[in-house]
């Protein structure tokens, strides 16, 4: 089973690239951002709790994220999924360890971790533009965008080190056309297979 973690800060293009990779490799895309938005839209207890953190530009606590993620993983496996792209998860070393345990219980493991790297200036520009197009309030405030990027760098970057120690991490240049970034990601996956 091909399981890929797609890693990168807000605005790095993870969602766009994840969909392209799912189409090419026949994988199921699990995005914590989509999970959060779905739970918030349904106004579940977990969704309301997650919204409080997201509105402040903070990461959602591990226990909330892991609970949502585990449930979705089981649902997709029961539906016949043969591989996954994990987008936005794990965001902490604790979540990475939890993911390893969740997958091991299902006789699965991570095959490759792809970290998309984009300059802060380009990230800010992309997120603000996305906010104008989507109307997402968390993407319209430049101060909040800067806080989200800083939060990502301070709390999530150590996860790269965790996967680098296991020989799974590949750094992917995230600037350029969608097609150029997709080609770089595909090459990294093909070399892992």
pTM above 0.85, yes or no: no
The residue that leads in pLDDT, 186 or 147, is 186
Q: Name the least confident of 76-80, 105-109, 120-124, 140-144.
A: 140-144
**For residue 92, what is the domain's CATH number?**
3.40.50.300
Dihedral sign for Cα atoms in the order 132, 137, 138, 142: positive
Which secondary structure element, helix H or strand E, spans residue 54, and what is its range?
Answer: helix 45-54
pLDDT reported for residue 5: 95
pLDDT reported for residue 193: 58
pLDDT digits (tens, 9 = 90+) for 30-47: 988 788 888 889 898 888
Split into its structural domains, the chain has a count of 1
Where in the sequence numbering do the catalytic residues fall? 14, 91, 130, 136, 148
The boundaries of the domain holding residue 158 are 2-192
Dihedral sign for Cα atoms in the order 115, 119, 122, 127: positive
Quick one: how many helices (H) and strands (E) in the chain? 9, 5
């Amino acid at each position: 089973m091909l399981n890929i973690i797609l890693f990168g800060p807000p605005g790095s293009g993870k969602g766009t690239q994840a969909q392209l990779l799912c189409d090419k490799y026949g994988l199921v895309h699990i995005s914590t951002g989509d999970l959060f938005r779905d739970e918030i839209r349904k106004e579940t207890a977990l969704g309301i709790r997650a919204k409080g953190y997201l509105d402040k530009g903070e990461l959602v606590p591990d226990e909330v994220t892991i609970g949502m993620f585990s449930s979705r993983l089981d649902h997709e496996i029961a539906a016949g999924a043969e591989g996954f792209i994990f987008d936005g998860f794990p965001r902490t070393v604790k979540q990475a360890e939890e993911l390893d345990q969740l997958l091991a219980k299902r006789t699965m493991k991570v095959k490759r971790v792809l970290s998309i790297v984009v300059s802060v200036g380009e990230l800010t520009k992309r997120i603000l533009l996305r906010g104008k197009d989507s109307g997402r309030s968390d993407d319209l405030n430049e101060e909040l965008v800067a806080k989200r990027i800083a939060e990502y760098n301070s709390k999530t970057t150590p996860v790269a080190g965790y996967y680098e120690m296991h020989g799974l991490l590949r750094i992917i240049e995230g600037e350029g056309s969608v097609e150029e970034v997709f080609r770089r990601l595909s090459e990294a996956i093909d070399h892992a297979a």
